[in-house]
Amino acid sequence: MDLRLLSSFLAVVEEGHFGRAAARLFLSPPAVTQHVRRLESEVGARLLHRNPVSLTPAGARLVGHARGLLAAANAAMDDMADLVQDRESDTVRPLRVGIMGHGSAELTPAAINAYRRARPEVPVELRQLDFTEHVTALLQDSVDVAFVRPTPDDERVLADVLTTEQRIVVVPETSPLADARELGAYLQDIADLPFFRLPSHTPRPFTEYLYFHDEAQRRSAHYALTPQEVLTGVVTGCAAGSGLKSFARYYGWPGAVYVPVLDAPWESSYLAIRADDSNPEVRIFRALTIALAQELGPLVAR
């Protein structure tokens, strides 16, 4: 059972009002209403009367259990916090966060800010990753967590899906394909685009993602390792690029046109960590990010 649903339910019970409960939880009233409905669906019974708010018999019975479960969860988190504090030395090791491109769009800064609020005593270092560091940044211990796409194909890395989005291509405004910016294009329409090249040591999953899993995809002579280099090649007519739909919100360059690829499979962005990493800060960051992805992920994909 999702503890957030119980928290919203108890807030409504204690406040006697959905709006006041939402303000207390820093959520929107529709979000609190949805949490209560999901909880009612899970337990199979109506828990609250509306207008005015009052407990049903089932709701009254659940209140005690809900408080006990939340108290136990809080106790567990306090115990973990004590453990982490005991292990900390005078010099606190920073949490190193790697971000490929724009990461997981709006979810990336939301996760970093949530972690900073939860663990203000731990410094956070941000590092921009280029396309060749899809896996190596973690395996070479350059970062502790990484926002990447697509999923790393390496058993030494664990990855959680954060967002799933439509694919796009980026072309210069002089390209014939630019006219499809509103209606979109199909894979057959982009087969002849001169996509930029990647160094030979770029991980294969990223190369396949970039070229839509088309081994015969035409290549430009132009190399690129970062979104900025991609867009420089695009607006100068040297190459085309590809990405996720949210790329357009973060890189609105004059002269670059973003065209949806209607029949390309949607792709996901991920939070990746080392599979054998025992750092408790990594576990905390991962848990916070996954929780936020459940809330914000669908919004990012729009």
Q: What percent of the chain has pLDDT over 70?
A: 93
Lay out the sheet containing 241-244: strands in order across. Answer: 241-244, 167-172, 256-260
pLDDT at 95 over 60: yes
DSSP state of 209: H
> Distances from the Cα of 184 to the Cαs of 122, 166, 245, in angstroms?
45, 11, 12
Residue 27: count of CB within 10 angstroms of its CB: 19
Instruction: Considering the chain, tell me which residue range(s) the CATH 3.40.190.10 domain(s) occupy.
Output: 95-160+269-300, 167-265
Rg (CA), the chain: 23
> Distances from the Cα of 95 to the Cαs of 115, 126, 134, 277, in angstroms?
10, 9, 18, 12
Rounded distance between C-alpha atoms, residue 202 and residue 224, angstroms: 11
pLDDT at 87 over 70: no
Rounded distance between C-alpha atoms, residue 262 and residue 210, angstroms: 16
- What string of DSSP letters covers 122-157? S-EEEEEE-GGGTTHHHHTTS-SEEEESS----TTE
Q: Residue 99 in contact with residue 108, Cβ under 8 Å?
A: yes
Q: Architecture of domain 167-265 in CATH?
A: 3-Layer(aba) Sandwich (3.40)
Q: Looking at residue 221, what is its pLDDT?
A: 81
Q: Residue 224 in contact with residue 196, Cβ under 8 Å?
A: yes
pLDDT at 7 over 60: yes
* CATH class as words, domain 3-87: mainly alpha
Q: Looking at residue 97, what is its pLDDT?
A: 98
What mean pLDDT is reported for the chain?
Answer: 89
CA trace torsion 247, 248, 253, 255 (10° rounding): 120
pLDDT at 174 over 70: yes
pLDDT at 186 over 90: yes
pLDDT at 22 over 70: yes
Confidence of residue 222 (pLDDT cuts 50, 70, 90): confident
**Topology at the third CATH level for domain 95-160+269-300:** D-Maltodextrin-Binding Protein; domain 2 (3.40.190)
Peptide bond just before 52 cis, omega within 30 deg: yes
pLDDT at 170 over 90: yes
Task: Summarize pLDDT for 122-136 with one digit per residue, the tens.
Answer: 999 999 999 999 899
Instruction: Considering the chain, tell me which residue range(s) the CATH 1.10.10.10 domain(s) occupy.
Output: 3-87
pLDDT at 183 over 70: yes
